[in-house]
Amino acid sequence: MTAVRNSTGATSSRNRLGLTLLELLIVMGILGVMLGAGVGAFTGLDPGRRTALSTVTSTLRLARNEALARRAGARVRFDLATGAMHATGFRVVGTWRFEDMGQVNGFGPLAEIVGGELPFTNAGYMGRALDFSQGHPSARLEVAVQDDPGCDWGEGFDLGFALRPVAMTSSRLADLGSSAGLDMRSDGGLIGWFISQSSVEGNRQVKGERIRLETPAGVLAVGRWSRVRMSHDGRFFRLYVGEVEVARSFQEGRLWRGPSALIIGGGPGGLPAMVDDLTLAVAGNSFHAFLPGGVSFNEKSPKEILFSPSGALDPVAHNAPLQIKLDFDDGLSEQIYVGLYGTVEQ
């Protein structure tokens, strides 16, 4: 081969038109690494796998967020055979306040004062309030929840209001459609109750037994505003004062839905207290989802996950973190973890 010297004195070969064997092997090795990484990346981006994981995690987080937002329990049920998921939280039926003298404000079913004069006071929890202590003993606030077909508390309810006792006597605080109620005791305690729903021959639903729940004495104080709540999430019956749980009872099942209104005050002897900022929510914020084709729940996955009002796993139902396993038709599987504090990870 004839070498040609250029002006710098270096030599080059006119006949070197290809790659050496070593260079070819290096190029092939680089291509192999790049292709291998690409295949792995595309596997991780499989749309069916990503959709399945997203569907389950979104359903769980939705239920947990509902529990946190409403400070009431929420649950997710899994049908392991069909791949269906059903998340249930609470929806607000109405809120009622008393800022305009003689007029009830808010949204939801109609609320009105009946049975006698019931004055407003400027010393409310937030602005003005109803002063039952200065009203006629039979005066009460009636909310026409029985006229709202969507207000079905059979799966659960959450009733709350601000309360300021001016004296401690045994008095009726609230009656929810003759199905559930809350009373004040003379020792500063609370009594909550509800009526369960029973089935008879022909699967006809009838009125069941009356369930009672009591708090310790002294959870209320004369002259002090407290946020009082009564809640049933389908499993637990709870009472709260100042967002602190003061009584709880395991009572699983549906509630009987009575035919009458939500009543505040108006019991025998009247109510020596001020009331403000009334809210009612019922179980009914539901979300349904299904696993995509080619994916199924592993048979060892839980059939139900319950979140407490704090957003954590309900400690009575779950004493350890939970694992949901998804099986794919290609033989692979993925796990989703729910921690004790309700965090959802994969």
Find out whether 239 and 247 touch, Cβ atoms under 8 Å: yes
Find out whether 234 and 283 touch, Cβ atoms under 8 Å: yes
Instruction: Establish if 12 belongs to a structural domain.
Output: no
- What percent of the chain shows pLDDT beyond 90? 62
Structural domain total, the chain: 2
Of 286, 303, 328, which residue sits at a domain end?
286
Residue with tokens 């987080």: 61
Mean pLDDT of 76-90: 92
Instruction: Establish if 37 belongs to a structural domain.
Output: no
Torsion of CA 231, 237, 239, 244, to 10 degrees: -90
pLDDT score at 41: 46
Instruction: Establish if 26 belongs to a structural domain.
Output: no
Find out whether 230 and 192 touch, Cβ atoms under 8 Å: yes
Q: What is the 3-state secondary structure (H, E, C) of 31-48?
A: HHHHHHHHHHHHHHCCHH
- What percent of the chain shows pLDDT beyond 70? 85
pLDDT score at 31: 66
- Residue, of 142 and 285, whose pLDDT is higher: 142
pLDDT score at 299: 94
208 shares its domain with 317: no
Instruction: Establish if 295 belongs to a structural domain.
Output: yes
Find out whether 112 and 130 touch, Cβ atoms under 8 Å: no
Instruction: Establish if 43 belongs to a structural domain.
Output: no
Length of the chain, in residues? 346
Q: What is the pLDDT of residues 36-81, one digit of tens each?
A: 555 554 455 467 788 999 999 999 999 999 888 877 888 899 999 9
- Residue, of 147 and 47, whose pLDDT is higher: 147
Distance CA 41, CA 119 (A): 70
pLDDT score at 100: 82
Instruction: Establish if 279 belongs to a structural domain.
Output: yes
List the CATH number of the domain containing 297: 3.55.40.10
Find out whether 60 and 85 touch, Cβ atoms under 8 Å: no
203: pLDDT confidence band, cut at 50, 70 and 90? low
The domain of 244 spans 89-286
Of 286, 302, 326, which residue sits at a domain end?
286
314 shares its domain with 257: no
- Residue, of 300 and 100, whose pLDDT is higher: 300
Q: What is the pLDDT of residues 238-286, one digit of tens each?
A: 999 998 999 999 988 889 988 899 999 999 999 999 999 999 999 887 8
Of 264, 286, 308, which residue sits at a domain end?
286
222 shares its domain with 79: no
212 shares its domain with 323: no
Question: Exposed, middle or buried, 81 (CB in 10 Å: 0-12/13-18/19+)?
Answer: exposed
pLDDT score at 200: 60
Give how far the C-alpha of residue 74 lies from the chain's centroid of Cα atoms, to the nearest Å. 4
Handedness of CA 115, 119, 124, 128 (dihedral sign): positive
17: pLDDT confidence band, cut at 50, 70 and 90? low
Residue 288 has pLDDT above 70, yes or no: yes
List the CATH number of the domain containing 167: 2.60.120.200
How many CB atoms are closer than 10 A to CB 334?
A: 17
CA atoms within 13 A on the CB side of 341: 2
71 shares its domain with 213: no
pLDDT score at 3: 45
